[in-house]
Amino acid sequence: MRSLVLAIELAWWQQTVLRTIGVLAAVLLPAGTLVYVFLFKMMSFMQSRLGPMEAGPYGSMQLLAEVGKWIQKEDIIPWRADRKLFAMAPYIVVMTVFLTYVGVPFGPDAWFADLDVGIFYILAVSSISVLGILIAGWSSANKYSLLGGLRAAGQLIAYELPMVLAVVGVVIQAETLNLQGIVAAQHEGAIFGWDGIGNPFILTQFVGFLIFLVALQAELTQTPFDMPVAESELVSGYMTEYSGMRFLLFFIAEFASAGAFAAVAATLFLGGWALPGVDLDADYMNVLGPIVLLAKIMLVAFLVFWVRFTYPRFREDQLQQLAWKVLIPLSLVNILATMALKVAY
Amino acid sequence: MVAQNIFFYVIAAVMVAAAVVVVTNRNVVRAALALIVVFAGVAAQYILLAAEFVATTQVLVYIGAIMVLMLFGIMLTRARIGQDPEMTNERWWVGLITALLLAGVMGYALIDHFGSDPLPEDRRLVAVGGSNTATVSDAIFSQYLIPFEVISVLLLSALVGAIVIARKDR
């Protein structure tokens, strides 16, 4: 099988086309699944209602109907807005999600780019999305939009630090930044000499995992960290003036980045595309790996959306205090403890 | 080497054009956005040199942190949409002289040191475990440990200084 598949020699542009289609699928499929399963159905069940039921069996085509509706809508740009930047902003946000997925491995040979700097690259490109949000807020020429953009920037800057620091613990344990290396380190690791399930870093880096999840929630601006789009105060924050296709792009970016960060969390802490007991180099992992990773994405995303549908919104000062006075000191202690244990063992 | 040379000049041309926009544009937010293009160009040049760790750091620090903070500050204080006639400083020629002198010194240092040496064919540093990143970290924490720590102290003092300037109860 391997010889058969690998015997096909593809030109560089053919590989690029295939990878582009692959990234499109990797961005859109989890995003659509998250919207249907969590936003449409799980939220409805938590609120004792059925959610969409009409479009398709059990409402499963509802998302397509919504996309069709948004595409038809008129593209309105406010008269006083900075037209070019207003039009550009959603594309910046969506682009960063695509770039994030580029770094995530799905199997031994199923990756878009096997980067030496792996997780560091992902953290770097995901930090660009703030720029799109700031530009969207400013160029709308609307005070609610501007306030939403500023809140988003303040929040994302504050929570980027604990996220990076939480990842450092994992990197110290795995001794590599490369995500394939991190997957392999978890698969081949052992817990006090017992290597039955490898060593998924959620066990040894549990504090890091918790910090990462909280920072994740804030980076995705999901409730309780949704002050940038707080409907009751800011209409819809930086998205207020957007309609039609451009709003759809923001919407896709929100859920696609939830999927992307869930994939990163799954790779860092839950063993990525590997399962205990499988052969990491086996060919079938290229097919099984993406399915395993998708299952783990759904697991992490379930936690994110569970919290989103459960808790009310923070106040702005509570948000900043949590980041600077709790999460950052905690993650620094976590790094010190990991370093000490790494040197000791 | 030809492809790298062509892309170096393409990226350099984009960077120079964006840098001109930074100083001539009369809208402070648009000037800041043009500065982002310059920084992204620097990152692209690092990637051409197979220095992906430095390129990623460039993106994370300059685009993801410094420019976001800068835009944040601009939007908090003054960020009108449209033209702002007060954007050009009266003493812009001082800046021009400084920039020319800096370009002269740096250009001279580079040409004096490297001359017309061609870049090595394989620019990956594979001293430690075949990994560029590991090699960089190895260099920082052994050979260049003292400069690295001195820079940390410098940043710390800058941080303390910023707090002292910002606090109100003086």
In b/e form, how buried is each residue of A106-138, taking b as 16+ CB within 10 angstroms?
bbbebbbeebbbbbbbbbbbbbbbbbbbbbbbb
Average pLDDT score over residue span A18-32: 82
Chain position carrying tokens 């707080």:
A230
Given a cut of 80, whether residue B50 has pLDDT beyond it is no
**Residue in chain B nearest A152 by alpha carbon:** B72
Residue A16 belongs to some domain of the structure: no
Kindly state the percentage of chain A with pLDDT values over 90: 1
How many distinct structural domains can be found in chain A?
1
Average pLDDT score over residue span B78-84: 68
Residue A300 belongs to some domain of the structure: yes
A81 touching chain B per CB within 8 A: yes
d(CA A234, CA B40): 32
Nearest Cα residue to A174 out of A166, A165, A183: A183
Residue A48 belongs to some domain of the structure: no
Output the pTM of the full model: 0.84
Q: Contact, A27 vs A106, CB < 8 A?
A: no
Q: Contact, A147 vs A234, CB < 8 A?
A: yes
Domain ranges of chain B: 3-167
Give chain B positions within 8 Å (CB) of A117: 52-53, 56, 133
Partner-chain contact B72 A141, CB within 8 Å: no
Average pLDDT, chain A: 83
Residue A121 belongs to some domain of the structure: yes
Question: Long-range contacts for A325-330 (Cβ within 8 Å, ≥24 apart)?
Answer: A327/A159, A327/A162, A327/A211, A327/A214, A327/A215, A328/A161, A328/A162, A328/A165, A330/A162, A330/A207, A330/A211
pLDDT of residue A8: 64
| pLDDT tens readout for residues A252-290 | 888 888 888 998 998 888 888 887 777 777 777 778 888
Q: What does the DSSP assignment read for A99-159?
A: HHHHT---SSS--S---TTHHHHHHHHHTTHHHHHHHHHHHTT-HHHHHHHHHHHHHHHHH
Return the SS3 of A194: strand
With residue A285 as reference, give the H or E element that holds it: helix A285-310
Residue A136 belongs to some domain of the structure: yes
Partner-chain contact B64 A130, CB within 8 Å: yes
Predicted confidence band of residue A1 (pLDDT cuts 50, 70, 90): very low
Return the SS3 of A74: coil
CA distances from residue B61 to A124, A136, B51, B72, B150 in whole angstroms, order as listed: 8, 22, 16, 15, 19
| pLDDT tens readout for residues A131-187 | 888 888 888 888 888 888 888 888 888 888 898 888 988 888 888 888 888 888 887
Q: Which two tokens stand for residue A150?
A: 């500023």
Give chain A positions within 8 Å (CB) of B40: none
CATH of B3-167, one of 1.10.1740.10, 1.20.120.1200, 3.10.20.600, 1.10.580.10: 1.20.120.1200
Return the SS3 of B81: coil
Number of H helices, E strands in chain A: 16, 0
Given a cut of 80, whether residue A56 has pLDDT beyond it is no
Given a cut of 60, whether residue A5 has pLDDT beyond it is no
Nearest CA to CA, how far is B114 from chain A (Å)? Answer: 28
Residue A105 belongs to some domain of the structure: yes
Helices (H), A225-284: 231-234, 244-269
pLDDT of residue A287: 80
Given a cut of 80, whether residue B71 has pLDDT beyond it is yes
Instruction: Identify the residue with better confidence: A291 or B86.
Output: A291
A150 touching chain B per CB within 8 A: yes
Q: Contact, A269 vs A170, CB < 8 A?
A: yes
Predicted confidence band of residue B161 (pLDDT cuts 50, 70, 90): very high
d(CA A208, CA A224): 20
Q: Residue A274 gets which letter from DSSP?
A: -
Nearest CA to CA, how far is B50 from chain A (Å)? Answer: 11
Q: Which two tokens stand for residue A127?
A: 């930090």
Given a cut of 90, whether residue B102 has pLDDT beyond it is yes
Given a cut of 90, whether residue B160 has pLDDT beyond it is yes
Give chain A positions within 8 Å (CB) of B71: 131, 134, 138, 153
**Residue B118, preceding bond cis, omega within 30 degrees?**
no
Q: Residue B157 gets which letter from DSSP?
A: H
A125 touching chain B per CB within 8 A: yes
Give chain B positions within 8 Å (CB) of A96: none
Residue A241 belongs to some domain of the structure: yes
Given a cut of 50, whether residue A2 has pLDDT beyond it is no
Best of A119, A121, A328 to mutate (most B CBs within 10 Å, chain B)? A121
pLDDT of residue B85: 67
Q: How many residues does chain A have?
A: 345
Given a cut of 90, whether residue B105 has pLDDT beyond it is yes
Q: What single-letter amino acid sits at B81?
A: I
pLDDT of residue B150: 93
Average pLDDT score over residue span B117-138: 67
Best of B27, B56, B84, B159 to mutate (most A CBs within 10 Å, chain A)? B56
Partner-chain contact B68 A127, CB within 8 Å: yes
Structural domain boundaries enclosing A236: 76-344
Q: Contact, A101 vs A260, CB < 8 A?
A: yes
pLDDT of residue B101: 95
Residue A27 belongs to some domain of the structure: no
Average pLDDT score over residue span A45-60: 82
Q: Phi, psi (5° rounding) for residue A8?
A: -75, 115
Nearest Cα residue to B75 out of A314, A154, A129, A127: A154
Nearest CA to CA, how far is A339 from chain B (Å)? Answer: 15
CA distances from residue A217 to A149, A170, A203, A244, A323 in whole angstroms, order as listed: 17, 19, 21, 26, 12
Residue A309 burial class via C-beta count within 10 angstroms: exposed 0-12, middle 13-18, buried 19 and up: middle
Which member of B57, B68, B133 has the closest CB to residue A131?
Answer: B68
